[in-house]
Amino acid sequence: MSDALTQVTTEASGIFAGLKVADFTWAAAGPIATKQLSDNGATVIKVESFKHPDSIRLGGPFIDDKPGINRSGFFADFHSSKLGISVDMSNPDALEIIRPLIEWADVVAESFRPGVMKKWGLDYESLRAINPRIVMLSSSLYGADGPWARHPGYGAQGQALAGIHGMTGWPDRPPAMPKGAYSDSVSPRYALSALVAALIHREKTGEGQHVELSQIEATAQLLAPDLLAYQVTGVESTRAGDAKPGSILHGVFPCEGEERWIAIEAVTEAQFEALAKVLGDDGALAQARSDGREALNEAVATLTLPKDAFALMAECRAAGVPAGVANKASDLLEDEVLNAHGHFWPLDHAEMGRLNYNGPAYRFEKTPSALRFASPRLGEHTEAVMTRVLGFGAEDIARFKAEGLLQ
């Protein structure tokens, strides 16, 4: 089997085949965007500082529950099909290595706090002086401008500031913090769209440009209907638990077994009547409905509790009632729909072994996506990239190691 560099540079056939990306992103919001490039044929070289590697490498879950710099499943899922090099970016001489990378690249992507790339001599004006056609993508929590631009922050703060926390939870309780960071999941989709638009512009004009994105602003887009409703009506949306205006029933209900739940919705009278028949107690549900939403939810929960969640989902769907099991991670990996659609890609990692990686949620008919290999270990491809992509020789590499630029 060919090595990773050969697979990337000569065997790529996806829609971004031939695109060359110098990837300085870290954590989640940036790497999720560049993963869409690498899994679709682009040559993406992830640059990490071995003195300060990507923080996601330090976060679990770890394979076999044993922490290690190359054992994070979180990191692995965001970096499929990418090459990885490790350079001491705090060393002022790092530009001797990075400059040829900028000359080679079509795109430079970064997701640091504004000012970090400039400190390294890699702000857009400096990049453009090296490569006038470069397209730079900068993604940060607050954006490049404004009073908080350089303030530290993570996804939890970003989604709070974007209004997500204030909308999540029950009206008589404090806001609930959703697991994970919405800003890290939402913003990469906007970032990729903007980047592709900039590349199309360059194809037409030959001009590179700087694309700058605020992760908070991207996440605020999720609340666009609520923002509009407030401006039009003066009524401010707030936490509503699992209630949904316009639905007769809308909630998540307990089923048989440990932490087994099912989401059920009835919008029309026909759906509600069909659900009552499935649950087997038309009278109890009719009475509960007349007593209000809370009483109805309690009555439905009483009837779903002894039932198997998957069997109940099948019955509801057969009756035309929207329903879905609240899947666990183990359920997703075995899900017949996801597997029939080829969502998961098994890839072999040198330290973690074979894992199923998330593939793209879209399909290209003419240029199919392909997860070509697993995420890189820290600095795994440094020497191969230095010699075969950037044109350095063995003596250069030895000197860089002696100077502390490379491990």
Cα separation, 300 vs 316, in Å, equals 13
**Are 83 and 381 a contacting pair, CB within 8 Å?**
yes
Which helix (H) or strand (E) element contains residue 250?
Answer: strand 249-254
**Are 251 and 300 a contacting pair, CB within 8 Å?**
yes
- 184 catalytic residue (yes or no): yes
Closest CA relative to residue 12, chosen from 22, 1, 4, 23: 4
Burial code of 64-92, b = ≥16 C-beta within 10 A, e = fewer?
eeeeeebbbbbbbbbbbbbbbbbbbbebe
Cα separation, 141 vs 154, in Å, equals 7
Cα separation, 143 vs 212, in Å, equals 7
Residues near 35 by Cβ (< 8 Å), separated by ≥ 6? 78, 79, 80, 81, 82
Which helix (H) or strand (E) element contains residue 263?
Answer: strand 261-266
Count Cα atoms within 13 angstroms, Cβ side, for 295: 9
Q: Which of 106, 184, 282, 331 is catalytic?
A: 184
Cα separation, 345 vs 338, in Å, equals 11
- Output the DSSP codes for 70-122: T-BHHHHHH-TT-EEEE--TTSGGGHHHHHHHHHH-SEEEE-SPTTHHHHTT-
**Positions marked active-site:** 184
